[in-house]
Amino acid sequence: MSKTIFEELSWRGLVYDATPEFDAWTASGSRTAYIGFDPTASSLHVGSLLPIMGLARMQRFGHRPVALVGGGTGLIGDPSGKTAERQMLTRDAVEENLRGIQTQLEPFLDFGAVSNAALMVNNLDWLGPMGLVEFLRDVGKHFTVNYMLAKESVKRRVQSEDGISYTEFTYMMLQAYDFLELSRTHDCDIQMGGSDQWGNIMAGIDLVRKASSRKAHGLVFPLVTNASGTKFGKTESGTIWLDPERTSPYRFYQFWLNTDDRDVVPYLKYFTWLSEDAISELSDIHEAQPGRREAHRVLAREVTALVHGEAERDQAEEAAAVLFGGALDKVPVKDLRDIFDDVPSTVLPREAFSGDGTGILELCERTGLTASRGEARRLVRAGGLFVNNERQGDEQAVITASHLIEGELLVLRKGKKSYHLVQIEA
């Protein structure tokens, strides 16, 4: 294990920039560090995993992590990295999103009775009651317009066609005040975030110094991208969420399993607890035998277990094995629908499988798996027809309700990879 948190973050490639003496400051005693999370949805997504793991790593090194959820700033919107002003949230929407986010942080951070127990705060608690005059007097006086215009996130928006609203222009001061408030109330002396937050973090450090003469530090992580040029966490089917209701554990597992070969080793450093030696060994295997995809499997296993637990991880692996002829009896229908989301599908009435059921040859023709019953017969005789991944060797076989998985669907397969899903009419 690394001697300091800075060394740990450094070998993992997680230090994009940091204030001078950050290493010495964190090595000299237990510190309190915070990261802000944007409550624009009721679930965090995989892009949030890097900061979440950043707080968790701080806690493992004896520091106290604070997860700040921007209930107040979420009503405004951060211009950093944005090309246009986003729609502001209502208070009710923010509150609902806060509840979902807290649940997702709990597997990573220890909020219990330990000396460096994690803390979750909502900046609406102090920003909400603050009046405009009070804000301008206590915060605004410490910022010059020139200082704010010099920040890259503001400069880009000012130069854009749509410009920047005064609402978003004040965001930097609001975030800086968060740091000052946490410094006063929780002895927080470190703010961390993505590299696009560097300007806001430096503004907070300046405010803490000017308003209270306290020391403060900051560190930013690199913004995660992937080698193929698409935004991390985005797929053809949309955002990869941490909420299993939005992105199933199976699809979550597949997202990591399908990581580009060029990204898999960095992602092992970013998103897992594996040691430097363990990752180095996986890197060597990956370089020597990329076809084994050992590093990909370990990445998918580790991250899925972190987010969804080992039981859901194991179930996701069993579901993934279905495509290679694995058993279907332990795979829930919801996962099977995910697995076969893009294969041909036929909806049949339940009556088709009640009583005497439907002959296998008729079923193949009826679903279009084969062009005719004759083709289906030849397929059975050649050993190339499978029902629920079990080889069907009897051309006189009848498919009944007993074959239906959870009474809802049936999986037909022709040869090794030609699948067809049969679903029961609702």
Q: What is the pLDDT of residues 201-230, one digit of tens each?
A: 999 999 999 999 899 999 999 999 887 777
* Residue type present at position 113: A
Domain range list for the chain: 5-221, 234-339, 345-424
Average pLDDT over every residue of 304-312: 95
- pTM listed for this prediction: 0.84
Superfamily the domain 234-339 falls into: Tyrosyl-Transfer RNA Synthetase (1.10.240.10)
Task: List pLDDT tens digits, range 260-303.
Answer: 999 999 999 999 999 999 999 999 999 999 999 999 999 999 99
Q: pLDDT at residue 80 above 60?
A: no
Q: 243 is written with which tokens?
A: 């909420």
Task: List pLDDT tens digits, range 245-258.
Answer: 999 999 999 999 99
More confident position, 55 or 72: 55
H helices present in 84-143, as ranges: 91-105, 124-127, 132-138
More confident position, 110 or 98: 110
pLDDT score for 83:
45
Task: List pLDDT tens digits, range 186-209.
Answer: 999 999 999 989 989 999 999 999
Which CATH fold would you assign to the domain 5-221? Rossmann fold (3.40.50)
Query: Is the CB of residue 127 less than 8 Å from the CB of residue 68?
Result: no
- Cα 254 to Cα 340: distance, rounded to the nearest angstrom: 13
CATH code for the structural domain at 345-424: 3.10.290.10
Q: pLDDT at residue 425 above 80?
A: yes
Q: pLDDT at residue 174 above 70?
A: yes
Task: List pLDDT tens digits, range 331-380.
Answer: 888 888 888 888 899 999 999 999 889 999 999 999 999 999 999 999 99
- Cα 199 to Cα 153: distance, rounded to the nearest angstrom: 8
